Amino acid sequence: MKQKWMIGELAKMFDVSTDTLRYYEAEGLLRSHRDEVNGYRYYSYDELFVLMDILLFRSLGLPVKEIQPLVTTKKLGEIKEILQQNDGLIEKQLAILQRQRKQLAQIVSQHELCEQHLGQFSIVAAPAFKSKFLGSDVEDVLRVVKQYKTDEGWMDRIRHTLFLPTEEVFGSRSFEAAEMGISFDDETIREFEAGEQQQFSLSLDKECVYTVIGTDYSNREHAVFEQARAWLTERGRSMEGPLLGRYLASSHQEGLDYYEIWIALQAT
């Protein structure tokens, strides 16, 4: 059985570069020997197994600096403890990635709602989420969002929400006068203390006309309200108000924010 390998042979065997092997040597992870006859560098059977461990630890994401003591000075039990610590770190990273994936899926679904419902009308039940409104001062909204952002796992569930009173729906018909707030699903609100839960309530309790609208918060809503009124008239229904809007997405190139909106209907 062959007992020594030249650097090129070892590199080819493990599909790494010779520069990588030299780097491991420079960092004290691996050592080579010199042939007394020709002076060539070679690696012994023992170094072959050391390299296997190095590559295994690297595949687990361990940095070179942490691997060096594992293959030089640490005993078996100490190596196990270090690997267990890294397992805990990986578990935390997986939890972070799972939260990010969930948040990404939510954002994608919001963009899909824009594509599917922009300019389209339907009659639906009142929305089930609960809201908390803070008037029209943007700073107040940002302050409250920051309050909830400090609690891990809640930021991806915060939704910017608008409320347009009935008189505004039939008056100026613009989001310029809308009250701003935030909304959560019931599952999140149940995590709050009782007093905090009471600050969130349903704003609509009737059937609603539903659509998605793009707004610059000035007067683009006027045309949409007129379209909704005409669509409802054809079906023998009419708006009563108020309006609830929940943020979906933004198109910065167009200068528009997109909301799904519900406008309460008169009972039939």
**What pLDDT digit, counting tens, does each position of 181-197 carry?**
888 888 788 877 888 88
| 170 lies in the same domain as 88 | no
| 177 lies in the same domain as 166 | yes
Q: Cβ–Cβ contacts within 10 Å for residue 151, how many?
A: 11
The boundaries of the domain holding residue 244 are 118-265
The list of the chain residues with pLDDT below 70 reads: 1-2, 135-156, 172
Tokens of 59: 């595949």
pTM: 0.70
Q: What is the per-residue pLDDT for 188?
A: 80
CA separation, residue 211 to residues 114, 172, 205, 245, 261 (Å): 9, 19, 17, 10, 6
122 in helix, strand or coil?
Answer: strand
Q: Is residue 141 part of a domain?
A: yes
Q: What is the per-residue pLDDT for 41?
A: 81
Q: Is residue 112 part of a domain?
A: no
| 155 lies in the same domain as 232 | yes
Q: What is the CATH number of the domain that holds 32?
A: 1.10.1660.10
Q: Are 49 and 5 in contact (CB under 8 A)?
A: no
| 212 lies in the same domain as 171 | yes
| 218 lies in the same domain as 154 | yes
CA 179 to chain centroid, in Å, comes to 27
**What pLDDT digit, counting tens, does each position of 121-166 carry?**
999 999 988 888 876 666 666 666 666 665 555 666 788 898 988 8
| 94 lies in the same domain as 180 | no
| 181 lies in the same domain as 239 | yes
